Structures are given as C-alpha cells and as structure tokens.
Amino acid sequence: MVEPGLIRAAQQGDRDALVSLLREIENHVYRTAYYILGNEQDALDASQEALIRIYTKITSYEEKAQFKTWVQRIVTNICIDKFRRTKPVVSIEEHDMVFREKQDVEEEVLSAYAAKDIREAIDKLPDHHRAVVVLRYLQDFSYNEIADSLDLPLNTVKSYLFRARQQLQTLLHDYQKGGVRG
Amino acid sequence: MTCQEVVEVMNRYLDGDLDEHERVLLMEHLKNCPDDQELFERLQRLSEELEELPKVTPPFSLVDSILPQLAEIDALRDAKAAQAAVMDEEWTQAEEAAAAEGGSLGSRRASRKRTGWLGRRTAAWGGATAVAAAAIILAVSLNGPHPNRQTAMLESKAPAAAGNASEYSVQEAADTGGAALKSVEEGTGSSEPATSPTAVSDGSRGTGGGSRTKASTSPPPSARVGGIGGASGFDKADPNISGSANMGGPSMGIAQFPSPPASPSPGMEQGIAGQGLAASTASPDGKYSYTVTGTLLEVFDSGDKKLAELKMDGELQGSPSWSSDSTTLAVEVKDSSGAVKKFKIVAAEGTVEEQKS
C-alpha cells in the first residue's frame, strides 16, 4: 500500500517522492509482467517501460481510482499490447532457467503440480484470462480491483477467472497423465 | 442448484465471495454429489497452487536501472520549457518593436496578436510548439549561410500575400526541413528587427558557423538572433535585394536543404519514443488539445475548457491524430472483442461521431 501523501507529493513535482514511489511498486510491477510475459527478459523490459510511463504520467492519476489498480493497468496494457504481441512463443528452456533457484526438489515431488507446469499452463491462457489470473493470485486483487485494472466489466472478470481455472485444471490434468509435457 | 450454478458458486467460494447461506448450500450439494465434490477438490488444490506461485522479484533494482532515462526525461522537459520561454520572449519583443514602429509590418504583427495566435496562447505553447521551435533551430543549424539567406529572401518577397503564413510555416516546421526554414523567417524572424543589410550577412554567417561547430546541438542564442535579424532586415529594409537573390536560385537553395532528423535531439527523442510515451496532444495550430485518462478521452480548448469527451469502451488503438487543419481529432478504439471503432471529434462543435467502416 503506497502512502497517499507520497503519491500527492510526487504529483506535485517532488522528484524524490516520485522515485521512492517507483521503488515501492517495482516488485509488484515486475511480478505482473513476469507472469503475463512468461520470461525474465521481457518482464524486465516491460517493467522498466511501465515505471517510466508512471514517472511521466503521474499527474494524470486521479484519486478516485486506487493507485495500485492504476499501476497495474499501465503494466498489463504494456505487457498485452506490446510485448505479448511481438513475442508469442516462450521456450521451455527459459522457464527452467528462471526457476532453477526457486525449485525445491522435495517440495516439487510432494506437490501435485510443479510450479513449472502451472507456469506453463498459465502461459497457454488467452491474454486477458492470464491477466485476470495474475492479478487475482499474484497481486491478491478482488474482482472489482481486477475489473478496474483491466477495464473489464465485473461479470467478464468472473467468467474469465472461472474459465481460466477450468482450463488450467484441464491442462494440468493432462500434464499429470502424460508425465512429461510435450 | 444446476451444475453450471454449482461451478460458479465453487469458484466464488475460492475467491471468498460467498455469504454464509450460499456456503451452506454449496456444502450440502457437494455431500450429495460425488462428481462435483471431486471437481471442487481439484479446483481447490489448483487455487492453492496458484496462491503458492513464487513471488518473483527483479534480479536488480529496476528503478536504479532507469534513473538515467528519468534524468533525460527531466532534461528534455526543462529544455522544452526553457525554449518556450525564450520563444515567447522573442515574440513579445517583436510585437513591442512592431507596435512602436506602427508601420504596415507593425499592424500585420499586431493583428496576429489580436487573433491570439500560438505565441499568445500559453496553454498551447507546450509540446507541439516547442518541438516545432526546436525543429526551426535545428534547421538553422544544419544549413549553411547561402540557402538560409536565400530562403529568407524568398520568403520576405511576399509577406503581404502570405496572409497567415506564420501559421502555415510553423505547422509544417515539425514535418519538413524546407518548411522549418521558412518559419525561421516568419516564426523567429519577428524578433530584433535589423536595421541594415549588413546585419543580414552577419547573421547568416553566424548561423552557418553554428552548423559547423555545433553539428547536432542548437546554435548559440547569438547565432539565432543574427539569423532572425537578417530575415527581418530584408523583410522591410530592401525588397530589391530579395529580387536579386531570387535570381541566384531560391529553388536551388531549398533543394539543398538536408532533410533534418525528425527531432532536435535524436538521442533523447528516441529514448523517449522508444519508451512509448505519449506524444504531444495539442492540435497543429495549438488551439485544442486532448487528454486520455483511463478510458476517458477529453478535448479542451486553449483555455482548458472542455469541448468534447469520448468514453472509450476499449483500448486506444495507436495515438489519436489531429487533422492538418486542426478541426478534427481522429480516434481509434479497440474493444475487448478486438473490433476497432473509429471516431471523429470536431473540436469547435464538440461533436463525437463514430465512423462506420
């Protein structure tokens, strides 16, 4: 939660406040970009672009919206409009590389689905479905907050999320049955 | 509950969206329906897995990594503001001088003031104009003394005929080198009227020198003023010189103009364009501007009065663009189904019209 005072100071031209504000949100911005785009390099590029856009557009933020949804709107738009369109294919090797440090072998065995499988399944979802899942699970957003961020009607958010779960389940079920993913 | 309803209720359960009553109903249903019970368990497990996805963090500080770009943005902003201030001051000086003279030239400029063109409109005196101003300066710096002088002469030949030449030339300045040069005469030519033809050649030389020694930067103010003074000097002092210079081949002079790069400071502009920042939102003549806030696009006049608004039911496709006569803003909106709708906003009338394709 970013301090409203910090946002206001940033909007009034306090450059230090604006930079501190960016520091507070950079992890959130990156996390969304990472899970929407599915690889570290694009996530870094998209996050940097999002932070720069926030830097230049801070005065256009209005308090009637939540700051965190405004931020997520910017980063999801950049991810979906720009990066995703130009780089639709994500290789499996990249995932392996990214998750090398995070993997805990024992836990992975105990876990029904490997995080890697889930990541890949998420990556197969259509853009907006994936964005809804990312905001729900990586940002802990409510239906309303997701609707505000993605500029979608509430019912659309729900149906995307429910359908995404269904699809993830089917995909993961296939992975499990097939053992090794194709 | 039908099966479809149950699936929805299960999902809402996972999102903590059920009230107590709905929760009880769901549990009762699941007790009596093994298939749904199994589906519910799978969904629950999936949801738990999703919640446990690693909260990844960037491998280095993203903010630190963009600090140089942020500094560039600040520098460009400051430069634009400073440039706008300089230009505005030049205008004021020119108008004061012209008014004091009270000649035909003076009245021409005074009429500009009354019509409230560009320079007087502080609201519009932002992005687009500053860029145009920068383009003018760039064009000056890129050109040697001869083409510069010839153009100034060419232009000065018919000041009376060019009723609103100033608007025309500055509008084009952003696009073409030739036009940018024209606007040297009209745009900046209004400051510091020179008193003798001698000042002309000095000014031109000064400008040319600037181009050689400061290849990609703006010429020093003195060079600019020199060029400016030269243009004005011809404008009113000695029409005959214009005539003879034209014989030297004004068209050749224009043909020699290099096409200037699109921006006054290539590195900086590219850096910004590369980051996908919005371009200026002002209309070419500076009378109108638009802003986009979320899904709301609003059109304002120079006094910040709202003229029209468009609630977009989707994402902006590309950047809205002004017609060259500044009357109409074209907007393309892509809705969630991917369909693109085109709108035309007539600023003066405040009308928003969807264009059927």
Place of tokens 């036009």: B179
The answer on pLDDT for A103 being more than 70 is no
* CB atoms A53 and B275 under 8 Å: yes
A4-178: what fold? Arc Repressor Mutant, subunit A (1.10.10)
**Confidence check: pLDDT of A102 > 70:** no
pLDDT digits (tens, 9 = 90+) for B16-62: 999 999 999 999 999 999 999 999 999 999 999 999 999 999 999 99
Residue B37 in contact with partner chain A when CB distance is under 8 A: no
Residue B275 contacts A where some CB pair is shorter than 8 Å: yes
Cβ separation B46–A165 shorter than 8 A: yes
Please count the CA atoms within 13 angstroms of the CA of A155 that sit on its side-chain side.
Answer: 0
pLDDT number for residue B100: 64
* Strand segments (E) across chain B: 288-293, 296-301, 306-311, 314-316, 321-322, 328-335, 340-346, 351-355
Does B63 sit within 8 Å of A23, measured CB to CB?
A: yes
Chosen from B10, B17, B45, B46 to mutate, greatest number of chain A CBs within 10 A: B46
ipTM of the complex: 0.83
Residue type present at position A31? R
Average pLDDT, chain B: 64
The shortest CB-CB distance from A52 to any of B14, B56, B69 is to: B69
The pLDDT tens digits of the residues spanning A119-165 come to 999 999 999 999 999 999 999 999 999 999 999 999 999 999 999 99
B67 touches A at CB < 8 Å = yes
Question: What are residue B345's DSSP bridge partners?
Answer: B329, B352
Provide the percentage of residues in chain B whose pLDDT is more than 90: 20
How many residues are present in chain B?
357
The larger pLDDT score, comparing residue A34 to residue B222, is at A34
- Give tens-digit pLDDT for B301-348: 877 778 888 888 888 888 888 888 888 999 888 887 888 888 899 888
Provide CATH code, domain B288-355.
2.40.10
The residue to which tokens 């181009």 are assigned:
B211
pLDDT value, residue B318: 84
The residue among A121, A112, A35, A163 whose CA lies nearest residue B45 is: A112
Mean pLDDT of B85-100: 72
Cβ pair A164, A131 in contact under 8 A: no
Is A152 within 8 Å of B336 when comparing Cβ atoms? yes
**B300 in helix, strand or coil?**
strand
SS3 label, residue A45: helix
Asked if B53 has any chain A CB less than 8 Å from its own CB, the reply is: yes
Domain boundaries, chain B: 3-51, 68-268, 288-355
Alpha-carbon distance B351 to B328, whole Å? Answer: 10
pLDDT, mean of residues B188-212: 38
**Rounded Cα–Cα distance for residues A36 and A80 (Å):** 8
d(CA B59, CA A168): 28
Q: How far apart are CA B234 and CA B193, in angstroms?
A: 9
Q: Which of residues 27-46 of A touch B (CB under 8 A)?
A: 27, 29-31, 34-35, 40, 43-44
- As a whole number of angstroms, the longest Cα–Cα distance in chain A is 57
Q: How far is A27 from chain B (nearest CA, A)?
A: 6
Question: Any chain A CB within 8 A of the CB of B349?
Answer: no
| pLDDT per position as a tens digit, B231-284 | 333 333 344 443 333 443 344 433 344 444 444 444 444 444 334 344 457 888
Sorted by where each begins, the domain ranges of chain A are 4-178
Cβ–Cβ gap B58/A30 under 8 Å = yes
Q: How many CB atoms neighbour CB B26 within 10 A?
A: 20
